[in-house]
Amino acid sequence: MTDEQPYAFPQEKKARNNRYQNENAYLKELKPIFDNAGFEIFNCNPESKCDVFQYMPFNDAVDDCKGGVPNEPFDTEHYYNKDLQEQHFQQNPDLLNLSELKTIYKNDHALGTK
């Protein structure tokens, strides 16, 4: 991609410029809904013109969302070992267990919030 050919195929660059401005406006309208639901979105493109979401470097975003998943290489040996599972939960105490997740789900649906 170059200034002379901004895409990997023949296309004028100006063909979609208004689309991104419109999408940014739509995202501004949606942001309070996302915030109210506790749904966080980050912009991982430092050159993006989207000003709705806070910038976060891509690698930081991956680290944030992967939670307790260890860095590669990911060793699956003894993956079903109960001791390994207990060790994982001790290292990551903020994780929800399945019964907690079911309770949250049931409560949200009973209250009509989801």
Query: What would the pLDDT profile of 18-74 be if each residue is shown by its tens digit?
Result: 777 889 999 999 999 999 888 899 999 988 888 999 999 999 998 888 877 777 777
Mean pLDDT of 74-92: 75
How far CA 20 is from CA of 15, 23, 48, 55, in Å, comes to 11, 5, 10, 17
Residue 114 pLDDT exceeds 70: no
Distance CA 14, CA 16 (A): 6
Question: What is the reported pTM?
Answer: 0.50
Higher pLDDT, 60 or 8: 60
Task: Return the pLDDT at 73.
Answer: 74
CB of 22 closer than 8 Å to CB of 30? no
